[in-house]
Amino acid sequence: MYPNVDEKTADEITKSLDSQKDNAKNVPFIERTKAMEKAKEMLEKYKEETIKSLMINSGKSRQDAEGEVNSTISRLFLTLEEAYKLKGEFIPGDLAKENIGRFAIVKKEPVGLVLGISPFNYPLFISFTKVIPALLSGNVVILKPASANPIPVILMTRILESVGLFSNFFAMITGEGKIGSYMASNDLVNMVTFTGSTSVGKELSKIIGIKKVHLELGGRALAIVLKDTDLEKTANNIIKGSLSNAGQRCDAISGVVAEKEIYDDLLKLLKKKIKDIKYGNPFDKNVTMGTMISEKAVQDVEELVNDALKNRAKLEHGNKIKGCVFSPTLLSNVSPKMKIMNEEIFGPVIPVMKIDNYKEAISFANSLKYGLDMAVFTKDISKAFEISEKIKTGEITINGLPSHGVGLFPFGGTKLSGLGREGIGYSIDEFTEIKTIVIA
């Protein structure tokens, strides 16, 4: 681990890791998986300390912090499933006349030196959904976590260091955000994997150069609610999908579009349920929604809410601020042109918009610059599939909130939401390159 890294130290770390690429590649795969199993056991041993570090350093509720640690443990448990994607392929040449008598072996090889840059909202889990598959694939890895809350990542780094095998193949650095951009431009770095805002992702893409890149950027998940839905179930999903982790999720439900026939009833249910959310001090055992990451983050959300209110949105509940606490907030009478229905909110706010029919919802969803996640609630499976087919997005969930948990399903965006996919096995594809060996 290297704290407060400057450019000179960054260059030294990069050179040191680059010199270990062949050694990492040649470690037998079974040794890598055994090391990950040991790391899982260590994280389980220090689970309580890690949970508390997330509560203190990130303001997460006990519920959210424990969920993040459990997901990281599960990801380590599933390393063998992840590793299955490293298998090669045999292709006979006699499938084509000109290749009769030939065959090919197709194998996956590590890309080399991977730079991972992770965000503040899930500092532990997202950091190690990059590190775990990258190391399993035989790469060397440099990780730059968010400056706002690196403590949980430091704890996990200590665990990997204690395992031993990865001590020469993995380095975690802390420092200002610009150091990540500086390292991304280094020619010794073979791949950059970044999770964060679309604006930073755009800047990174300009300086990365010709190398492999994975970008998981901003999201704008709409909940499309049709008139035949189960309102109680739908309202529960919207509340949880919008307010978990204080709304600081790229896949959070950050807007609801409801058909006019059930708009008022849905709004009434949401208003009733949002009042029951206990928020504030993460160490209060009754609190299920903790604080936001900073007062600046609170101000950004406040600006979006105030802009909506200025443009005739109606405040149904919330909009109370104290330090890093932003109360669960419900807005009605929002319109398609409001900023709050077009920008990533990244806070505990639920704007609800009335629509005439589901085709209007499809049109609005496709007008957004983001395409990471969506949700549709209806009993009509034909309409659900029609909506799913017509909306341009990386993922859409039918009758449930967007939730990626351990990463069993592939996750990633279209449009300004990024490039590439993450998930069990799918991440391995991102961190490897295909080599074809033809035998004539």
The residues assigned a catalytic role are 216, 250
**Strands of 432-439's sheet in order across:** 89-92, 103-110, 432-439
Rounded-to-integer distance, Cα 277 and Cα 360, Å: 31
Structure tokens at 304: 């979006």
Distance CA 189, CA 143 (A): 12
**CA distances for 135 relative to 112, 211, 341, 408, angstroms:** 10, 18, 39, 19
165 Cα distance to chain centroid: 27
Nearest to 258 by CA among 285, 293, 222: 222
In angstroms, rounded to a whole number, what is the distance separating the alpha carbons of residues 387 and 270?
A: 24
Strands (E), 286-394: 314-317, 321-322, 325-326, 329-332, 349-355, 370-371, 373-377
Q: Any idea how long the chain is? A: 440
Q: Under the phi-then-psi rule, with left for phi > 0, alpha for psi from -120 to 50, and beta for the rest, what region is 385?
A: alpha
Residues 238-273, buried b or exposed e (16+ Cβ, 10 A)? Answer: bbbbbbbbbbbbbbbbbbbbbbeebbeebbebbbeb
Give, to the nearest 10 degrees, the angle between helix 177-184 and helix 198-207. Answer: 30
The closest alpha carbon to 413, from 165, 152, 194, belongs to 194
